[in-house]
A and B are shown apart, each in its own frame.
Chain A
């Protein structure tokens, strides 16, 4: 029975992947991709990777899906023209050969992996007690491999700066995207009033249980960002101009706090990002608390896009 379920999920993933590539309509392909993310979530749950499943649902299915739907909506106008000029047969054959050879290489790599796979899980299990967190994923992300997480947070801020750099000169520092307006008595405005209190609590809960159970700042921040976007899309609040001081401080705050904790480790424990004995848990909480607003801001602002409206 469980085998049937596993095979079913795997078949659905392959079918959706093919659909995403084959679909001619961009919007249909994007919806296929978002669904692909959701089914991938199920696959991670089947592999007992609940942390990854949560991230996949939030980022892979939700956020990336929303980003791509926005992109597809922008492409609507030019899509028919783009379909009209079909690429030549030789280009198609080259593309097919290239994809096929990448697939073959990947298949060989997967088959060549040693069995059992090399793992550091036993070392994590042996040393997790010193971090005082119960969830091994959190221990890896914020203690054993904290450097990776720090660079990841910095990369996200850089990515946002990249999005902003697409702004026209006169709109620099202004508000991103267009002003949304919706019927103030409509269902969207209603949802934007009712859902955020629930969503913020769920987001904070997922953030807080990350210490000992699946969850964490990333998944929590995505939910909070989604709530903010809902309020903006319902026209209840406008997106802030990107030159606002609180916004800049919020964006820089998380990575800066992370670097500060790292420097403190160099001073107090002998290595950058090392935690003094007994202080691991409080320092991890400091980093997570500082990163949470940064992540929520980055994720929401990335979806809102480059500034388009100059401040009057």
Chain B
């Protein structure tokens, strides 16, 4: 096993831990805002680590750039939707 493979395994495993922590947070935290906090923070970082782990394994620069693009688009999407969900939850709390 090369140093490259060890790096990949370590990064992907670290990413998986973040996903696990985020899922536990989603299930255990008491309200919408803290659950969103758990989900978006850990998923963004977790996916970033998984992408970082996969980068040494790609066979072309283009494939690597696509992986990074996937991560950036997910960052944008999850940051945006979590804001929308939080806003809807706050509106509901104020109305109630």
Q: From residue 48 to 82 of chain B, which have CB atoms closer than 8 A to chain A?
A: 73, 76-77, 80
Mostly helix, strand, loop or mixed at chain A's interface?
helix
Binding site for B on A (CB under 8 A): 186-188, 190-191, 194-195, 198, 202
A187 touches B73 (CB 8 A): no
Contact call A187/B84, Cβ cutoff below 8 A: yes
In angstroms, how far is the closest chain A Cβ from the Cβ of B53? 17
Smallest Cβ-Cβ distance to B82: which chain A residue? A187
Q: Is there an interface contact between A190 and B73, defined as CB atoms closer than 8 Å?
A: no
Please tell me if B83 contacts chain A, counting CB pairs below 8 Å.
yes
Judge whether A191 and B76 touch: CB under 8 Å. yes
> Which B residues are in CB contact (< 8 Å) with A188?
80, 84
Q: Are A195 and B84 in contact (CB under 8 A)?
A: no
Contact partners of B80 in chain A: CB under 8 A = 187-188, 190-191, 195
Q: Report, as a range, how many residues of chain B touch the other chain.
A: under 10
Residue of B nearest to A186 (CB): B87
Contacts of B73 in A (CB 8 A): 198, 202
In the bound complex, how far is the Cα of B83 from the Cα of A92, in angstroms?
A: 42
Instruction: Assess whether A187 is in contact with B87, with CB atoms less than 8 Å apart.
Output: yes
Q: Please, which residues of chain A bring their CB within 8 A of the CB of B76?
A: 191, 194-195
Determine how close the nearest CB of chain A comes to the CB of B28; give it in whole angstroms: 20
Which residues does chain B contribute within 8 Å of A190, judged by CB atoms? 80
Inter-chain pairs besides A187-B87, A202-B73, 4 sampled, C-beta below 8 Å: A187-B80, A188-B80, A191-B80, A198-B73
Chain B residue nearest to A195 in the complex (CB): B76
A38 to chain B, nearest CB (A): 14
Give the distance to chain B from A115, nearest Cβ to Cβ, in Å.
36
Which residues on the B side are within 8 Å of A186 (C-beta)? 87
A218 to B84, alpha carbons, bound, how many Å? 28
- Sample of 16 A–B contacts (CB below 8 Å): A186-B87, A187-B80, A187-B83, A187-B84, A187-B87, A188-B80, A188-B84, A190-B80, A191-B76, A191-B80, A194-B76, A195-B76, A195-B77, A195-B80, A198-B73, A202-B73
Q: Hey, which chain B residues are within 8 Å of A187, CB to CB?
A: 80, 83-84, 87
B84 neighbours in A (Cβ, 8 Å): 187-188
Q: Which one of A187, A188, A195 has the greatest number of beta carbons of chain B within 10 Å?
A: A187
| Cβ–Cβ < 8 Å partners of A195 in chain B | 76-77, 80
CA distance A48 to B41 in the complex (A): 31
* Closest partner residue, chain B, to A230 (CB atom): B80
A230, chain B: closest CB distance, angstroms: 10
Q: What is the bound-complex CA distance between A191 and B84, given in angstroms?
A: 11
A219–B84 Cα distance when bound, in Å, is 26
Closest Cβ–Cβ distance, residue B36 to chain A (whole Å): 13
What's the least CB distance linking B66 to chain A, in Å?
10
Min CB distance A199 to B, Å, is 9
Q: In the bound complex, what is the Cα–Cα distance between A88 and B11 (angstroms)?
A: 56
Closest-by-CB residue of B relative to A199 is: B73
In the complex the two chains form, what is the Cα distance from A154 to B5 in whole Å?
50
The residue on A at minimum CB distance from B83 is: A187
Alpha-carbon separation in the docked complex, A190 to B77 (Å): 11
Docked complex Cα distance between A195 and B76 (Å): 8
- Interface flags for B84-96 (1: CB within 8 Å of A; 0: not) read 1001000000000
Report how far A270 CA is from B83 CA in the complex, Å. Answer: 59
Chain B residue at smallest Cβ distance from A191 = B80
Residue of B nearest to A198 (CB): B73
Q: Give bound CA distance, A198 to B73, whole Å.
A: 9
Closest to B80 in A: A191
Question: In whole angstroms, how far apart are the Cα atoms of A198 and B77 in the complex?
Answer: 12
